């Protein structure tokens, strides 16, 4: 396919890492970037101007949920999801397949597509690659995802190989079904489990199709962190330089820093907003559990270094009395958490461009692991990424601390 | 606090100016106090609150009882009180013991020591000293004394006791107050004109800045109200503001304004919002409006509001009210709101609270304009909100049947924190 509805310009590199400008039909984005998940046409508890203020560039919609309610037909009548929900910036929809397999009982994958039991009337239904693309064409997101054959990352044996080859067969059906290639970008998804040989075959097969972008799928599903980063590193290295790379279902701030160092560009995860609803805030040190009783007397902001609307205005104590009880608790913590993710994306972007990614990564790790106990997998990944993190592995000298304490 | 009456209509309705120390603008009455949960409007963070008409939206009601569990009075004082804690320095707060939503007086359990309340943290007996300790740490612009509110059906004896206690507690509250906020003396007396008068006369003997009239919306007949309100407003001094609780619906607001009430403490917007309702009645009824929003198939709707859950709005790409200038109407369709309600998304409540607040504040503005132009009687008489309801599932059920919450039978969702359980659908990309 010669059509492409995006432009991907690399603005700066640091070894494998890159900072780019991704021009989509609805927005010019800066990568690396994190995409918050707006399952049903809204990011829970936030208005569109708030999302813009936070700095969200792309939001994700879930095809399976949107097809159930309000249906892609209705969205199409309204001129697409952008207009229906009044979101001016970019959007991405998934294929719907993963949702079915993970949410529905009796979902089964055959060569035709994903068969499942309708949650409405219990009748057997079939989602083919063609239908997934048709639905996504009606929804109208800037980036649409190919239907893939997903297996759990913990699956081993011939099923992994079968799924990988089927994903390759289905990509052609997706490409053929795609009616709006000049308005929407179809991304292929690299499968192949934890097997480097299968991943390699899948990458090569997809790259031959010259797609506008590629996703690394089948991760963040319970595999070891060491397997996780190795798959990302391998795929990112093999995918074309001039196309965006999206690691699906990731994640945690640490994972995003590691994947970006390895050359990935895009991420999505429900984590920041879901954890917010349980009263957990993302902070440079890791997480802050606002439900904790100690928060009741803490008059500091969630993150004293954060300049978001919530941290500028509210104390941990006040948010403590809201979280998990009042809607406002989840609204405020979601706001902060997404702000944190966007700030992380921006910091990665600028530190790559300014050639100081190692300094940024070291600073990040030092705050998160003040004792220098950076996990082994992060050390391994950073070595592969050519980023020297030795300054933050040194344990802080313990004697001065004791001296200070004894002085008090 | 400074208050002065600026204009009178024929009758008792009046426009006043309320000036609060620290507030850069003065606020005209009759006005609405926005109901809050722990000081912030239920679904509006301060950035959204600031998009509402100013200064009309700058008065908030807060119940000190909301902080019974969670925050100590010491921590609240350390933070610097309400204005600082909520980052709403330019707003005026009125502290009232109850919130009329989840924190309600439980008269059976009240005794001579204090008033009992059902709250989300259980039942509490609050003594005047404790109430003032909480209130003083919050530092509201004005506060209402603790009262022994009783429903309409209690015995004469119990009603008398409630007046005696309320008057005594006013003394105790004033004595134990550590805040420079103004005091509003609570007036109760149930459905007895005599007791209402007695209570008002006793409260007037105290050094109070205004009056708070309680004990309404607790099972009394709506037709009894004018006489009860008149009994009080006949004797309290004209130059002090009068606040009322329990008059909430548009026609009740008009009734209160007609009687000479200045400040309304109402949870109507919250009730509408969690029920999926949007206000649509013409704010300025001197304009002739075709009633375009009313649909028979639209269950729960009437001449003042629509139920956005109704199937008729599924494909309706128009805003709630065409000429409405609120953020919701300027940016979103009824169809989107219908979808958000269908899938239990919190944004529905956020958008509805914005519109309903905007709309109700507009209604109050029209009332003030009508008073200033001397046409309030006509405004009251001609108002659409008085017209008989066609489907009458009123937002008010009788006190006997509720008393937790008032919701129309058609409103399905649980009122507190709609769509706020943590296991909602939200799924990643795969
Ligand atoms: Zn923040
Ligand atoms: Zn509106």
ipTM rounded to 2 decimals:
0.95
Using CA atoms, how far apart are residues B227 and B241, in angstroms rounded to an integer?
19
Q: What is the bridge-based pairing of β-strands B263-265 and B36-37?
A: unpaired
Q: Which of B47, B67, B339 sits opposite A321 (nearest CB)?
A: B67
Q: What is the bridge-based pairing of β-strands A58-61 and A33-36?
A: unpaired
Q: pLDDT at residue B408 above 60?
A: no
Residues 162-221, chain A: which have Cβ within 8 Å of B?
189, 215, 217, 220
Using CA atoms, how far apart are residues A22 and A265, in angstroms rounded to an integer?
10
Residues 43-82, chain A: which have Cβ within 8 Å of B?
44-50, 53, 60, 62, 64-65, 69-70, 74, 77-78
Cβ atoms of A238 and A214 within 8 Å: the answer is no
Average pLDDT, chain B: 89
Active site residues of A: 94, 268
End-to-end CA distance of chain B: 58
| The pLDDT value given to residue A398 | 54
Ligand 2 centre from B329 Cα, in Å? Answer: 4
Question: A42–B426: do the CB atoms touch at under 8 Å?
Answer: no
Q: What is the bridge-based pairing of β-strands A27-31 and A245-247?
A: unpaired
With cut-offs at 50, 70 and 90, classify the pLDDT of residue A358: very high
| Rg of chain A on CA atoms, in Å | 22
Instruction: Tell which residue, B318, B81, B425, B265, has the closest CA to residue A61.
Output: B425
Here the tokens at position A342 are: 């966007």
Using CA atoms, how far apart are residues A251 and A248, in angstroms rounded to an integer?
9
With cut-offs at 50, 70 and 90, classify the pLDDT of residue A104: confident
Cβ atoms of B258 and B13 within 8 Å: the answer is yes
Cβ atoms of A187 and A213 within 8 Å: the answer is yes
Q: Strand pairing partners for A127?
A: A114
Which chain A residues have a beta carbon less than 8 Å from that of B37?
326, 328
| The pLDDT value given to residue B121 | 86
Cβ atoms of B57 and B34 within 8 Å: the answer is yes
| The pLDDT value given to residue B227 | 96
Cβ atoms of B276 and B338 within 8 Å: the answer is no
Which chain B residues have a beta carbon less than 8 Å from that of A103?
427
**Omega within 30 of 0 (cis) for the link into A251:** yes
C-beta neighbour count of B316 within 10 angstroms: 17
Ligand 2 centre from A261 Cα, in Å? Answer: 47
Using CA atoms, how far apart are residues B336 and A38, in angstroms rounded to an integer?
14
The ligand placed nearest to the CA atom of residue B325 is: 2
Angle (CA) A298-A300-A304 rounded to 5° is: 145
| The pLDDT value given to residue B395 | 44
Q: What is the bridge-based pairing of β-strands A280-283 and A286-289?
A: antiparallel
Ligand 2 centre from B385 Cα, in Å? Answer: 18
Ligand 2 centre from B285 Cα, in Å? Answer: 17
Q: pLDDT at residue B399 above 60?
A: no
Angle (CA) A351-A18-A94 rounded to 5° is: 115
Cβ atoms of B307 and B299 within 8 Å: the answer is yes
Q: Where are the alpha helices (DSSP H) in B266-409?
A: 268-274, 327-331, 334-342, 347-372, 376-382
With cut-offs at 50, 70 and 90, classify the pLDDT of residue B202: very high
From residue B84, how far is each of A270, A335, B5 by CA, in Å? 32, 20, 30
Cβ atoms of B330 and B365 within 8 Å: the answer is no
Q: Where are the alpha helices (DSSP H) in A297-387?
A: 309-313, 316-322, 327-353, 357-368, 376-385
Q: Which of B75, B339, B422 sits opposite A277 (nearest CB)?
A: B422
Q: pLDDT at residue A180 above 70?
A: yes
Whether the CB of A266 is below 8 Å from some CB of chain B: the reply is no
CA torsion, points A206, A209, A212, A214, in degrees to nearest 10? 0
Using CA atoms, how far apart are residues A148 and A151, in angstroms rounded to an integer?
9
Question: A70–B86: do the CB atoms touch at under 8 Å?
Answer: no
Here the tokens at position A233 are: 């590193």
| The pLDDT value given to residue A101 | 80
Which chain B residues have a beta carbon less than 8 Å from that of A44?
345-347, 419, 424, 426
Mapped onto helix, strand or coil, the DSSP state of residue B303 is: coil
Whether the CB of A332 is below 8 Å from some CB of chain B: the reply is yes
| The pLDDT value given to residue A2 | 54
Using CA atoms, how far apart are residues A331 and A327, in angstroms rounded to an integer?
6
pTM for the model stands at 0.93
Q: Which of A39, A268, A328 sits opposite B425 (nearest CB)?
A: A39
Instruction: Tell which residue, B97, B104, B168, B98, has the closest CA to residue B135.
Output: B97
Residue % of chain B over a pLDDT of 90? 80
Q: pLDDT at residue A316 above 90?
A: yes
**Which one has a higher pLDDT value, B299 or A124?**
A124
Q: pLDDT at residue B31 above 90?
A: yes
pLDDT tens-place string over residues A48-95: 999 999 999 999 999 999 999 999 999 999 999 999 999 999 999 999
Here the tokens at position B343 are: 């899938």
CB under 8 Å to B32, separation ≥6 — which residues? B56, B59, B264, B266, B360, B361, B364
Using CA atoms, how far apart are residues B178 and B174, in angstroms rounded to an integer?
9
pLDDT tens-place string over residues A105-120: 678 899 999 988 888 7
| The pLDDT value given to residue B428 | 54
CA distance B364 to chain A (A): 27
Using CA atoms, how far apart are residues A175 and A103, in angstroms rounded to an integer?
26
Instruction: Tell which residue, B44, B56, B138, B141, has the closest CA to residue B92.
Output: B141
CB under 8 Å to B246, separation ≥6 — which residues? B100, B214, B215, B216, B217, B218
Is the sign of the CA dihedral B313, B315, B319, B321 positive or negative? Answer: negative
């Amino acid at each position: 396919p010669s059509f492409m509805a995006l432009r991907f310009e690399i603005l700066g590199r640091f070894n494998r890492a890159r900072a780019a400008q991704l021009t989509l039909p609805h927005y010019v984005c800066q990568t690396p970037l994190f995409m918050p998940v707006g399952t049903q046409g809204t990011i829970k508890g936030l208005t569109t101007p708030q999302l813009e203020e936070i700095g969200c560039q792309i939001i994700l919609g879930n095809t399976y949920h949107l097809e159930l309610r309000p249906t892609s037909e209705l969205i199409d009548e309204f001129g697409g999801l952008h207009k229906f929900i009044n979101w001016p910036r970019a959007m991405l929809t998934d294929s719907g397949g993963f949702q079915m397999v993970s949410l529905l009982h009796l979902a089964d994958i055959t060569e035709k597509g994903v068969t499942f039991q309708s949650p409405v009337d219990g009748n057997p239904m079939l989602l083919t690659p063609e239908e997934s693309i048709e639905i996504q064409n009606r929804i109208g997101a800037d980036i649409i995802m190919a239907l893939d054959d997903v297996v759990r990352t913990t699956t081993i044996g011939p099923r992994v190989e079968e799924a990988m080859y089927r994903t390759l067969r289905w990509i052609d059906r997706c490409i053929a079904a795609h009616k709006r290639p000049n308005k929407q970008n179809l991304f292929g998804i690299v499968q192949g489990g934890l097997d480097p040989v299968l991943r390699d075959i899948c990458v090569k097969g997809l790259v031959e199709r010259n797609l506008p972008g590629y996703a690394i799928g089948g991760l963040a599903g319970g595999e070891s962190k060491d397997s996780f980063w190795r798959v990302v590193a391998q795929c990112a290295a093999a995918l074309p330089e001039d196309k965006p790379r999206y690691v699906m279902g990731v994640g945690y701030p640490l994972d995003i820093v590691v994947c970006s160092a390895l050359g990935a560009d895009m991420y999505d995860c429900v984590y920041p907003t879901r954890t917010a609803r349980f009263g957990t805030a993302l902070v440079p040190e890791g997480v802050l559990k606002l439900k904790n009783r100690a928060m009741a007397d803490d008059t500091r902001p969630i993150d004293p270094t954060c300049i978001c609307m919530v941290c500028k205005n509210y104390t941990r104590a006040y948010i403590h009395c809201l979280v998990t009880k009042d809607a406002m608790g989840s609204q405020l913590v979601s706001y902060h958490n997404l702000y944190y993710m966007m700030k992380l994306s921006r910091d990665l972007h600028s530190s790559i461009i300014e050639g100081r990614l190692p300094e940024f990564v070291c600073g990040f790790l030092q705050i998160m692991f003040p004792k220098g106990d950076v996990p082994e997998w992060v050390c391994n990944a950073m070595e592969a990424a050519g980023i020297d993190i030795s300054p933050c592995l040194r344990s802080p000298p313990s004697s001065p601390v004791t001296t200070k304490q004894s002085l008090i | 606090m400074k208050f002065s009456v600026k204009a009178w209509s024929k009758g008792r309705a009046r426009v006043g100016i309320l000036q609060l120390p620290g507030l850069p603008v003065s606020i005209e009455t009759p006005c609405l106090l926005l109901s809050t949960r722990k000081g912030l409007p239920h679904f509006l963070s301060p950035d959204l609150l600031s998009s509402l008409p100013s200064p009309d939206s700058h008065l908030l009601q807060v119940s000190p009882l909301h902080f019974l569990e969670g925050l100590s009075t010491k921590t609240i004082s350390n933070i610097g009180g309400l204005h600082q804690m909520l980052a709403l320095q330019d707003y005026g707060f009125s502290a009232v013991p109850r919130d009329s939503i989840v924190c309600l007086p439980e008269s059976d359990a009240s005794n001579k020591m204090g008033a009992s309340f059902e709250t989300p943290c259980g039942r509490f007996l609050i003594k005047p000293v404790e109430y003032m300790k909480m209130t003083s740490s919050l530092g509201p612009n004005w506060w209402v004394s603790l009262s022994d509110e009783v429903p309409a059906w209690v015995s004469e004896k119990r009603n008398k006791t409630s007046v005696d206690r309320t008057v005594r507690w006013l003394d105790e509250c004033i004595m134990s107050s550590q805040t420079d906020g103004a005091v509003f003396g609570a007036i109760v007396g149930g459905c007895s004109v005599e007791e209402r008068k007695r209570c008002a006369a006793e409260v007037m003997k105290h050094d109070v800045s205004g009056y708070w009239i309680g004990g309404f919306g607790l099972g009394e007949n709506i037709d009894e109200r004018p006489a009860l309100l008149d009994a009080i407003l006949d004797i309290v001094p004209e130059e002090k503001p009068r606040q009322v609780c329990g008059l909430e619906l548009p026609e009740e607001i008009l009734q209160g304004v007609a009687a000479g009430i200045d400040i309304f403490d109402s949870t109507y917007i919250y009730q509408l919002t969690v029920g999926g309702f949007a206000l649509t009645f013409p704010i300025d009824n001197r304009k002739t409006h075709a009633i375009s929003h009313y649909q028979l198939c639209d269950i729960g709707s009437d001449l003042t509001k629509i139920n956005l859950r109704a199937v008729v709005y599924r494909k309706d790409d128009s805003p709630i009210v065409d000429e409405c200038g609120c953020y919701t109407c300027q940016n979103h369709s009824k169809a989107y709101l219908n979808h958000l309600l269908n899938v239990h998304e919190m944004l529905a409540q956020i958008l509805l609270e914005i519109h309903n607040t905007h709309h109700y504040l507009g209604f109050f503005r029209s009332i003030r304009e009508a008073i200033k132009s001397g046409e309030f009687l006509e405004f009251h008489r001609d108002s659409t909100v008085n017209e008989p309801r066609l489907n009458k599932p009123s937002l008010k059920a009788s006190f006997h049947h509720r008393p937790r919450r008032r919701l129309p039978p058609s409103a399905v969702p649980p009122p507190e924190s709609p769509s706020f359980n943590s296991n909602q659908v939200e799924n990643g990309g795969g």
